[in-house]
Structures are given as structure tokens and as C-alpha cells.
Amino acid sequence: MKTRIITGLVLIAVILPCVVIGQIPFQVLLGIVAGAAVFEMLSICNRPKANIYLYPLVGIFIYYSLFFEGALLIPSEILIIYLIVLLACSMFDDGMNYLRLCYYFCAGVLVAMGLHMLYQLRLTYGFEYILILALATFGTDTGAYFTGMFFGKHKLNPRLSPKKTIEGSLGGMLLGTVLSVAYGAYIQVNIPISLLIAICFVLTITSQIGDLTFSSIKRTFEVKDYSQLLPGHGGVLDRFDSILFNAMVFGLLLHFVAMVVV
């Protein structure tokens, strides 16, 4: 627990200034996270291991999507090209069966979209929107942990996460919604209050879906953590799985809100 707390404090001390400042520090931060995510998503593959050429291949797709696409959403053409390249590789890679190919595509797109949306949210909407996202996501995680600890009785999904409970899930949704809506209302974010409540509530749900999604991947490859890059926390994807998933959802919701408001 001591190691986990120390690592958490170091992460906050490093990440928070980068997010607040934005620009180059935030780009460097996302670049490091992207590199770690590529390493982790491929290194957990076993029987057989992912071939070495996949690291630069997946890395190019993720870095291009992150820094060289200026639209809020990644164009479908980029996703199609990535899929075609993977399909072509599978013709010559004996270790890439159909299930493994689907994993490389889905995991790569999930990480790419999450990072891309985080970057675009900071670039387009500013630090305040990143904080709303963080409060909804980590508020849900914190609320679920403590509510589950004191009141949890009914398992949420024993197959993917034996410790999570329905009571904890509801407590997390409540805390995450309250924190993010309260902050959004305080700074008078440019979203109608009814839509803000709806968005924040949805984020508390998708936060847990994201967490379970990445847990499902770990169960598939029979690993406890994606890596040990962060002492006490596991890997980068273990720590930031929900925020990556939620960034993608938040970006989509803001895109739809902009269409409705206009």
C-alpha cells in the first residue's frame, strides 16, 4: 500500500502540471503514455508472442492518430488502412490467427482513440473539460471502492472482476456524477445543465465498462497486470484504462452536443 501511495503521488506531481500547462509538456506526456501502451498491449501476448515488427507497426498507427490527425474524431480511412495492413501481415505471420488479428486491431484502435481524444479535448476545449472527465472517471472509481468496501454484497461481474459489487458500482456512479456536475456548474461550462448531468452520468457508466473491458483483455491472456512499470499500480494501461475509454466516449458526446446546440 505504501508503494502504491508513493507512486500515486509521483504520478499526480508529474501529470497535473503537464495537463494544466498543455502544449509541449502535455504532448510529451501523451507520447510517453502511448509508447508504454503499445509495449503493454503487445507484451502481454503469449502462445505465441507478438512478433517484433508489430511494435513499430502499431506504434506508427497510434502516434499518427494521436498527433497528426487534427479532427476530433479519427477519420475512418485511417482505421481502414490499419486494418488492411494487419490483414496483409496475417497472410505471412503464422502467429497471427483471426482472433489475434482482431485483438491487435481492437486494442490498437481503443488506445489510439482514447489518446487522440484526450489530446483533442485539451487542445479544443481546455483543461476544464479534462478535469470534468477526470472527476467523472476517478470519482466513480473512488466511490465504487469505498461503497463496495462498506456496503458491497452482490457481485457485479465475478468473471471479470471478483471484487466489484453492484452496490459499489451504484456508489461510484453517484459520486462521479456529483463531483463532475458540481465542477462543471461551478465553472459555468458551456453545456446546458440538463445535458451536463446526462453526460456526466453516462461517463460514470462507461468508466466501469472501460475498466471491465481492459480486465477482460487481461483475463484472456491470463495476466494480472499489463506490466510493472508503475510500482504498486501495475502498468500504464492498468492505471489509465478507464480514462482512455472515457475520453473516447466524452469526445463523442461533446461532438453530438455541439450538433444539437448548434
Confidence of residue 261 (pLDDT cuts 50, 70, 90): low
Q: What is the pLDDT of residue 87?
A: 95
Confidence of residue 255 (pLDDT cuts 50, 70, 90): confident
CA proximity to 19, closest of 133, 110, 182, 111: 133
Instruction: Give the residue numbers spanning the domain of 137.
Output: 2-261
Does the pLDDT value for residue 260 go beyond 80? no
Q: What is the pLDDT of residue 186?
A: 92
Q: What is the pLDDT of residues 65-97, one digit of tens each?
A: 998 877 778 888 999 999 999 999 999 998 899
Q: What is the pLDDT of residues 133-192, one digit of tens each?
A: 999 999 998 898 889 888 878 888 888 777 888 889 999 999 999 999 999 999 988 888
Q: What is the pLDDT of residues 202-214, one digit of tens each?
A: 999 999 999 899 9
Q: What global pTM score does this model have?
A: 0.90
Q: What is the pLDDT of residues 48-59, one digit of tens each?
A: 899 999 999 999
Share of the chain above pLDDT 90, in %: 55
Q: How many domains does the chain have?
A: 1
Does the pLDDT value for residue 115 go beyond 90? yes
Q: Find out whether 39 and 26 touch, Cβ atoms under 8 Å.
A: no
Q: What is the pLDDT of residue 56?
A: 96
C-alpha to C-alpha distance for 198 and 131, rounded to whole angstroms: 17
